[in-house]
Amino acid sequence: MKLGIVGLPNVGKSTLFNSLTKAGAESANYPFCTIDPNVGVVTVPDERLSVLGEMYHTKKIIPAAIEFVDIAGLVKGASKGEGLGNQFLANIREVDAIVHVVRCFEDGNIVHVDGNIDPLRDIETINLELIFSDLEILERRISKTAKVARNDKSAAKELVLLEKIKAHLEDNRLAKTFDGAEDDEEEEWLKSYNLLTYKPVIYAGNVAEDDLADDGAANAGVQAVREYASKEESEVFVVCAQIEQEIAELDDEEKKMFLEELGLEESGLEKLIKASYRLLGLISYLTAGEPEVRAWTITEGTKAPQAAGKIHTDFERGFIRAEVVSYDDLMACKSHAAAKEKGLVRLEGKDYVVKDGDIMLFRFNV
């Protein structure tokens, strides 16, 4: 999974990105994170892994990972090519979801590109650039489709849809709030355009340390962002990028104490990962054995063969069945053998829908 961090200049994107990737950098299992300074890999915290690690006497634990991309340089006029705009927009096209950082903190020393703090105006500035970029895509698509629509029923139908989406965007609305697709085919078309404003969004309200309490309740900007986000069913998460940077420097024990002092249960990174999982409908299944204990990310509703395919395409192609025990059942029985004796290790076939925390062993033909 890949998340792109966007936002206007000087809102705290890099500070957040650096703290996230620093906090997640302990994993040496993801060496590619050093290749591109704008890409960072963070691991998904999952307490179940270390418990399983002890049960299976393994030292090798591989958590699920999320890739963050710092997409700086999105400014007013980006869709018209201002400040390398188009290149950044292309980067956004490749991500699964967008983390949109919004400045909700006052600081006279840090200039705001538009002079004052106004989170809604900032959101709309960025969203407008994304909308412009999507309109360009649609226009190209429309002229292509129009050429064949006269003799092609399907193309004619698609053309009507394209025009409807275009009108929706021209109304300054995001593609994700478009509900004019008439059937599954049209839904599929809409998805296939890979529009920026169709992607799931998490708004990250960057607040001052004093405003962190109660999820930013005292910050008027955060309240405005929440209201805005609820209309498009986006998530909001409240963070203080500066504090995150400090937290990222600490070891686990110090981190716990520091968070307690601030009255927080978890770091911004943990909150953000949970929000992304929720928003994208993701869950983790686990594999466990003496060589390694590992978490794998899948979309809710994924069936056993496709889940197996995450490990290797051969597993999916040659899938026979899966041996499954839930994490909770395994914990209650204290060992795999005991769980088996109690009949809690199930044999599941190709239609089995994998659940969060399932511990899976796949049988397959090569």
307 binds ligand GDP (CB under 6 A): no
Shortest distance, position 250 Cβ to ligand GDP, whole Å? 17
Partnered with residue 316 across adjacent β-strands are none
Shortest distance, position 341 Cβ to ligand GDP, whole Å? 54
19 binds ligand GDP (CB under 6 A): no
Contact 284, 357 (CB under 8 A): yes
Shortest distance, position 11 Cβ to ligand GDP, whole Å? 4
- Token pair belonging to 333: 């029985």
284 binds ligand GDP (CB under 6 A): no
125 binds ligand GDP (CB under 6 A): no
Dihedral (CA of 103, 107, 108, 111) sign: negative
Contact 213, 182 (CB under 8 A): no
Shortest distance, position 206 Cβ to ligand GDP, whole Å? 5
Stretch that binds ligand GDP, among 119-127, 184-192, 218-226, 239-247 (CB under 6 A): 239-247
* Residue 99 assigned ligand-binding role: no
188 binds ligand GDP (CB under 6 A): no
Q: Give the nearer residue to ligand GDP in terms of CB position, either 208 or 213.
A: 208
Paired sense of beta strands 201-206 and 97-103, if any = parallel
Chain centroid to CA 216: 22
7 binds ligand GDP (CB under 6 A): yes
Shortest distance, position 69 Cβ to ligand GDP, whole Å? 13
Chain centroid to CA 68: 9
Find the length of the chain.
366
Shortest distance, position 48 Cβ to ligand GDP, whole Å? 32
Shortest distance, position 37 Cβ to ligand GDP, whole Å? 13
105 binds ligand GDP (CB under 6 A): yes
* 89, 175, 240, 248: which one binds ligand GDP (CB under 6 A): 240
Burial class (CB in 10 A: 0-12, 13-18, 19+), 221: buried
Number of residues engaging ligand GDP in binding (CB under 6 A) = 17
Contact 10, 68 (CB under 8 A): no
DSSP 148-163: HHTT-HHHHHHHHHHH
* 2, 10, 167, 312: which one binds ligand GDP (CB under 6 A): 10
43 binds ligand GDP (CB under 6 A): no
Cα separation of 15 and 2, whole Å? 19
Q: Which of 148, 38, 99 minimizes the C-alpha distance to 273? A: 99
* 110, 160, 217, 257: which one binds ligand GDP (CB under 6 A): 110
Binders of ligand GDP among 48-87, rule CB under 6 A?
Answer: 72
Q: Residues 200-219 vs ligand GDP: string with x where CB under 6 A? A: ------x-x-----------
Give the up-direction half-sphere exposure of residue 159: CA atoms within 13 A in the CB hemisphere. 15
Q: Give the nearer residue to ligand GDP in terms of CB position, either 118 or 186.
A: 118
Q: Which residues contact 355 (CB under 8 A, 6 or more apart)?
A: 283, 285, 326
Interior angle at CA 90, CA 84 and CA 94, nearest 5? 145
* 1, 6, 14, 298: which one binds ligand GDP (CB under 6 A): 14
Burial class (CB in 10 A: 0-12, 13-18, 19+), 17: buried
Cα separation of 304 and 211, whole Å? 44
* Residue 19 assigned ligand-binding role: no
Contact 136, 81 (CB under 8 A): no
Stretch that binds ligand GDP, among 6-14, 127-135, 261-269, 322-330 (CB under 6 A): 6-14
* 1, 4, 12, 102: which one binds ligand GDP (CB under 6 A): 12
Where is the binding site for ATP, in residues? 10-15
Residues lying near ligand GDP in the complex (CB under 6 A): 7, 9-15, 72, 105, 107, 110, 206, 208, 240-242
